[in-house]
Structure formats: C-alpha cells, structure tokens
Amino acid sequence: MTEAETLPILFVPDKRLRLKARPIGDADGDKVRALADKMLATMYAAPGIGLAAPQIGEGLRLVVLDIQPKEKPEPMVLVNPEIIAESAELAMREEGCLSLPGQYADVTRPARVKVRYLDLTGAKREIEGDGLLSACLQHEIDHLNGVLFVDHLSALKRNMILRKLAKDLKSQQRG
C-alpha cells in the first residue's frame, strides 16, 4: 500500500465544521476513493479513531474509522452513512475530537446503533455496534450534520471547553 498524503484538520470555530455535508453520488466516484485514502492517512497520523470529511474541509458525507488502529488495523470507509436504529438504553463515554484538540468530556448517547452505508464499491452495507464503536459512529455522523460532541453537553460545560480550546490554540500559536 502506498502512503497517501495527509491533510490539515480544521479546528473549531471554523465555520465549515458547522455545515451539513452533501450526499455522495455516482459522479463523485473517482474523487471519493482518493479522498478516503488521504483521510485514513490523516486519521492514523493524528492519531485518531475516526475522521469525517468536513473535518478536512470537504462537505461530503464520507467517514473513515478504525477503533483499534494499534492492535489490529481495520480501516473502514463509510459513504453516506445513516443511523437506521438506535437503542433506548444510553451509555456515557469520554470523547475527544481532532477538531477540538486536547479537549475531552463525557458524552451520553444511545448505547447501540445500527448504521447503513455504502462501501467504496457502492455496495450497501450495515454495521451494528456498541461501546467505543457506537460512540465513534455517532460522533462521525454528527460531523456530517455540522454537530460536534460539545453540542451534547450543557451550555456551561460546552462554553468552558470552547473557551479553553481558544486559549490553548492561542498559546500554541505564540509557541
């Protein structure tokens, strides 16, 4: 496998992170495979366990995912993913986001989800998950709708995180 180039990841408050991404169609075919390769390379390099196209400035419904990059690399590419079922039971888990570097918070979401998507050959697929996979699937699909993990928190916690992020990024800029 050849090394794909990595892409810069957008940080909050970049407005592109707040847009609803558009579905991928047949006409996008060639571009999508190359973009998915670059997104996987960017995700592994970060390192992260998921990445959605809006995070690299592409308003397309494309997600890459690998929740066990160290133990057993299993790169997944999800085209036009959608949640088709979710459990009534909720689960809380600490989340982070490559677009809010260094910020973490407990997020409560449905414990299990079933997701329908297309693979890179255009075949219809489904994946069902709990635990980290469930949280990651929901986190990435949120990105396609302009939603960030901090949107699931109280306004107080969200504003604390956004203020700390702004401060951290500013002090990084100063070096």
Q: Is 21 in the site for Ni ion (CB under 5 A)?
A: no
Binding mask 64-103 for ligand GNR (x = CB under 6 A): -------------------------------xxxxx----
CB of 118 to ligand GNR, least distance (A): 19
Peptide bond into 69 cis (omega under 30): no
67 binds, among ligand GNR, Ni ion, none (CB under 5 to 8 A by kind): none
Position among 41, 136, 141, 153 found at the interface with ligand GNR (CB under 6 A): 136
Which neighbouring-strand residues pair with 48?
none
CB of 152 to ligand GNR, least distance (A): 11
* Measured CA angle at 20 (ends 18, 25), to 5 deg: 145
Active site residue 140: yes
User: How far is Cα 119 from Cα 47, in angstroms, rounded to an integer?
Assistant: 23
Q: What residues from 15 to 54 belong to the interface with ligand GNR (CB under 6 A)?
A: 48-52
Token look-up 């009534």 returns 88
CB 81 within 8 A of CB 63: yes
**β-strands 62-65, 76-86 pairing:** antiparallel
Q: Strands, DSSP E only, in the chain?
A: 50-52, 62-65, 76-86, 90-96, 104-110, 113-118, 124-129
Q: Is 140 in the site for ligand GNR (CB under 6 A)?
A: yes
User: How far is Cα 101 from Cα 42, in angstroms, rounded to an integer?
Assistant: 14
Give residue number: closest CB to Ni ion: 97
49 binds, among ligand GNR, Ni ion, none (CB under 5 to 8 A by kind): ligand GNR
Position among 36, 62, 63, 97 found at the interface with Ni ion (CB under 5 A): 97
What is the contact surface with Ni ion in residues (CB under 5 A)? 97
Could you list the active site residues? 140
What is the contact surface with ligand GNR in residues (CB under 6 A)? 48-52, 55, 95-99, 135-136, 139-140, 143
